[in-house]
């Protein structure tokens, strides 16, 4: 109990959510990047079909990877890590019993997975000093069977809530695309610059379609404005890292200087507003990604001329966010209370 009490509530959840976010990114990336390029080839070649299957199968590891990584954040040993992973897999809903067989049905419900992992970690903390050498027997049963069963029970209700939130957002976005795309893009532009995971959030609530496209465009807009704003203070290397999504490197800067969120929010909102007229779409597994994953996935939802579609994607994911970011940067730097170049300086030695 003393070991658990040394973690403050915020620190506990931050460690857990960071681990889950990393598991999602690692598991989703192969399918998100590789699949769109070889799906057509896989229909005519056993070789490419194997590559496609391997890429898509990666996503099923999310509950197990999340459990292992989360347990690792708390310094658990191998038995404890494996036990937490058991609970995560059982309670995630990623595996369903259907007509006498166990069937993989996806990543499961992310919110339920997070709750199950949290319970499993607490359970290990509460019992580890009492089980001794019997840990190899007791902890797998405690986590895999007892905590896992709790997860199976809660899955139905948690999944109903999480999918309901996503359905409402997706439905409202279809009815009010201009307003919602603007708000969603702005929100995701800001969220990617915080410790929260846009990938985990998008998947957890099932945001997809036009709403998913707005989220991905919003994340990309953050990359662009941060890349431009950091260029003068840090040089080409750091700026290029931001362009390709390294904005989490600047978490300390964002916390210390909240005014940095102002240009990020503005660029996200304007880009999202323009996006609402282009009908860019994304799936829930890719909605939290910016470029290059975002445009790759968006291309799959587009019909019509291929060349035109590529131009549209280049516009909304690259050209317009860069131009909007340049304008916002040039304007906001004229207001010292809103902009200071030192805010954007990254200490890469930390």
Question: What's the pLDDT tens digit per position in 22-52?
Answer: 888 788 778 777 877 787 788 888 898 899 8
Q: What pTM does this model have?
A: 0.75
On whether residue 71 sits in a domain, the answer given is yes
Residues 117 and 218 in one domain: no
Nearest to 216 by CA among 241, 187, 258: 187
Mean pLDDT of the chain: 87
Give the other-Cβ count within 10 Å of 151's Cβ: 27
| Single residue among 162, 187, 222 that ends a domain in this structure | 162
Task: State CA 190 to chain mean position distance.
Answer: 13
| Single residue among 134, 162, 190 that ends a domain in this structure | 162
pLDDT, one tens digit per residue, over 212-233 is 999 999 999 999 999 999 888 7
Residues 135 and 96 in one domain: yes
On whether residue 169 sits in a domain, the answer given is no
Residues 236 and 193 in one domain: yes
Domains held by the chain: number: 2
The tokens describing 30, both together, are 């192969």
On whether residue 201 sits in a domain, the answer given is yes
Nearest to 109 by CA among 169, 160, 69, 144: 160
Dihedral angle of Cα 11, 12, 17, 18, to the nearest 10 degrees = 50
Check if the beta carbon of residue 285 is closer than 8 Å to that of residue 32: yes
Residues 19 and 135 in one domain: yes
Residues 110 and 191 in one domain: no
Residues 134 and 103 in one domain: yes
Rounded Cα distance between 283 and 122, Å, is: 33
Residues 146 and 272 in one domain: no
| Single residue among 124, 139, 162 that ends a domain in this structure | 162
Residues 21 and 105 in one domain: yes
Lowest mean pLDDT among 14-28, 53-67, 265-279: 14-28
Domain ranges, residue 151: 2-162
What's the confidence (pLDDT) of residue 337?
85
Residues 196 and 318 in one domain: yes
Rounded Cα distance between 292 and 198, Å, is: 15
């Amino acid at each position: 109990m003393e070991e658990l009490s040394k973690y403050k509530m915020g620190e506990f959840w931050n460690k857990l959510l960071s681990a889950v976010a990393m598991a999602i990114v690692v598991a989703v990336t192969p399918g998100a990047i590789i699949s769109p390029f070889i799906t057509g080839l896989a229909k005519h070649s056993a070789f490419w079909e194997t590559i496609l299957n391997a890429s898509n199968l990666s996503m099923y590891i999310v509950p197990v990877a999340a459990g292992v990584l989360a347990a690792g954040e708390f310094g658990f040993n191998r038995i404890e890590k494996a036990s937490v992973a058991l609970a995560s897999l059982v309670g995630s809903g990623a595996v369903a019993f259907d007509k006498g067989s166990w069937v993989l049905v996806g990543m499961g419900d992310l919110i339920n997975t997070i709750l199950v992992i949290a319970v499993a970690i607490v359970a290990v903390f509460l019992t580890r000093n009492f089980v001794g050498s019997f840990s190899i027997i007791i902890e797998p049963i405690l986590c895999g069977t007892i905590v896992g069963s709790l997860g199976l029970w809660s899955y139905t209700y948690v999944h109903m809530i999480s999918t309901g939130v996503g359905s409402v957002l997706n439905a409202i976005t279809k009815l009010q695309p201009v307003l919602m795309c603007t708000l969603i893009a702005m929100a995701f532009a800001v969220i990617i610059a915080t410790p929260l995971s846009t990938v985990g959030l998008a998947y957890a609530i099932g945001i997809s379609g036009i709403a998913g496209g707005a989220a991905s465009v919003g994340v990309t807009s953050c990359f662009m404005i941060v890349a431009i704003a950091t260029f003068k203070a840090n040089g080409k290397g750091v700026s290029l890292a931001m362009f390709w999504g390294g904005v989490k490197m600047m978490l300390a800067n964002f916390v210390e200087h909240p005014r940095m969120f102002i240009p990020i929010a503005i660029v996200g909102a304007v880009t999202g507003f323009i996006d609402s007229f282009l009908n860019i779409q994304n799936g829930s597994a890719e909605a939290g990604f910016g470029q290059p994953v975002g445009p790759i996935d968006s291309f799959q939802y587009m019909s019509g001329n291929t060349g035109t579609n590529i131009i549209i994607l280049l516009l909304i994911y690259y050209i317009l966010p860069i131009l909007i970011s340049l304008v916002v940067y040039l304007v906001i730097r004229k207001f010292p209370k809103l902009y200071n170049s030192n805010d954007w300086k990254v200490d890469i030695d930390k």
